[in-house]
């Protein structure tokens, strides 16, 4: 049970991805989107729908929200003119585990992997891999474009007997799927203690707790036994600014013949991210809606 502050605003659908990125940079815990049909879509591919106008709603933890963040949001929104103003609402104490259940829906990757909450299950048995992930108060259920791009990239990798780091793991969905697809082990890393607890619980739910474990970033970086070697695959679905800030850390985690998967990136931001890694990696770009993933292979050392 907890309380949140909600920021909401009507906007053109064409601007929604950029505003979503702005809200996440300001510290939003989650984003929901409401269309003209009044149906809410949490982390879904809502930009494929036929709405011209959407309402973006962002939840913020009142203990971390500060005046500077609010000014940043208000200033950023001036670049997206619309008649509706930014609205603030204190939501009061709610059971958010129950709230999420109203809006979370399964994600299907390549008709091969079914990902959904524990209270749902596929209607038939046609999917070789079933993954149950509950969001709790952590971000990431698999259906947001950025997460979907990472899942597709992982599904196209040879994961048998490799090691994976999920940097910014949230619910742990990427690391857990890696294990289910054959990874020898996967390590989740996040700065949020709630995310760590949720990710480890989700690993247990999917019977991969012996091969997946999540740690706080500081613990991971400062405990030698947690990173005894470089890793075959490193995936980071986080904010663009964080991808750039931690470029050296992520670079150092990838083995010589390894793969680096980066997402959480608007198409307009992809060049600035790739520039931060250009000395070490050559990237292929994959796009879904307004978002991209960069799949990197190491450049030959001269």
CA separation for the pair 207, 133 (Å, rounded): 12
Secondary structure (3-state) at 50: coil
- Indicate the pLDDT class of residue 128, thresholds 50, 70 and 90: confident
CA distances from 170 to 127, 228, 284 (A): 24, 23, 25
CA separation for the pair 138, 123 (Å, rounded): 27
pLDDT at 140: 56
Instruction: Name the percent of the chain lying above pLDDT 90.
Output: 40
pTM of the model: 0.79
Q: CATH number of the domain at 2-101, please?
A: 3.30.70.120
pLDDT at 154: 95
Across 17-42, average pLDDT: 71
Question: What average pLDDT is seen over the chain?
Answer: 82
pLDDT at 44: 44
Fold of the CATH domain 107-298: Rossmann fold (3.40.50)
Question: In terms of pLDDT, which residue wins out, 49 or 292?
Answer: 292
Domain segments of the chain as ranges: 2-101, 107-298
- Indicate the pLDDT class of residue 157, thresholds 50, 70 and 90: very high
Same fold, 2-101 and 107-298: no
- Indicate the pLDDT class of residue 8, thresholds 50, 70 and 90: confident
CA separation for the pair 150, 205 (Å, rounded): 21
Handedness of CA 280, 292, 215, 182 (dihedral sign): negative
CA distances from 65 to 26, 74, 83, 106, 204 (A): 9, 14, 25, 31, 32
Question: In terms of pLDDT, which residue wins out, 45 or 286?
Answer: 286
CA separation for the pair 176, 30 (Å, rounded): 21
Pairing, β 2-12 against β 53-60: antiparallel
Handedness of CA 241, 190, 254, 252 (dihedral sign): positive
Apex CA 153: angle with CA 244 and CA 22, to 5°? Answer: 40
CA separation for the pair 31, 56 (Å, rounded): 7
pLDDT at 30: 75
Apex CA 149: angle with CA 109 and CA 105, to 5°? Answer: 50
Axis-axis angle for helices 193-205, 173-180 (nearest 10): 30
Question: In terms of pLDDT, which residue wins out, 43 or 29?
Answer: 29
pLDDT at 145: 87
DSSP 24: H
pLDDT at 258: 93
Across 120-131, average pLDDT: 82
pLDDT at 41: 46
Q: Is 3 left (phi over 0), alpha (psi -120 to 50) or beta?
A: beta
pLDDT tens digits for range 197-214: 999 999 999 999 999 999
**Weakest-pLDDT range from 109-113, 158-162, 282-286:** 109-113
């Amino acid at each position: 049970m907890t309380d949140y502050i909600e920021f909401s605003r009507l906007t053109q659908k064409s601007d929604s991805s950029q505003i979503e990125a702005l809200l996440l940079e300001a510290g939003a815990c989650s984003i929901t989107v409401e269309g003209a049909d009044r149906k809410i879509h949490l982390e879904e591919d809502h930009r494929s729908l036929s709405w011209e106008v959407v309402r973006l709603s962002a939840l913020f933890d009142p203990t971390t929200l500060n005046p500077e963040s609010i000014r940043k949001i208000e200033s950023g929104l001036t670049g997206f003119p619309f008649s509706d103003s930014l609205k603030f609402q204190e939501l009061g104490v709610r059971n958010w585990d129950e709230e999420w259940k109203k809006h979370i829906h399964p994600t299907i990757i390549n008709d091969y992997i079914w990902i959904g909450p524990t209270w749902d299950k596929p209607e038939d048995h046609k999917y070789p891999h079933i993954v149950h992930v509950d969001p709790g108060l952590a971000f990431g259920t698999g259906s947001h474009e950025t997460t979907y791009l990472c899942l597709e990239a992982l599904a196209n990798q040879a994961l048998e007997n490799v090691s994976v780091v999920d940097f910014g793991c949230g619910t742990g969905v990427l690391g857990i799927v890696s294990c289910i697809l054959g990874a020898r082990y996967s390590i989740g890393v996040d700065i949020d203690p709630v995310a760590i607890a949720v990710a480890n619980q989700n690993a247990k739910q999917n019977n991969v707790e012996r091969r997946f474990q999540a740690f706080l970033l500081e613990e991971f970086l400062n405990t030698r036994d947690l990173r005894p070697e470089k890793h075959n695959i490193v995936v980071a679905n986080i904010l663009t600014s964080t991808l750039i800030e931690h470029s050296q850390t992520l670079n150092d985690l990838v083995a010589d013949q390894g793969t680096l998967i980066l997402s959480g990136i608007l198409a307009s931001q992809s060049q600035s991210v790739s520039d931060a890694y250009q000395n070490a990696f050559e990237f292929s770009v994959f796009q879904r809606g307004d978002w991209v993933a960069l799949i990197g292979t190491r450049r030959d050392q001269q």
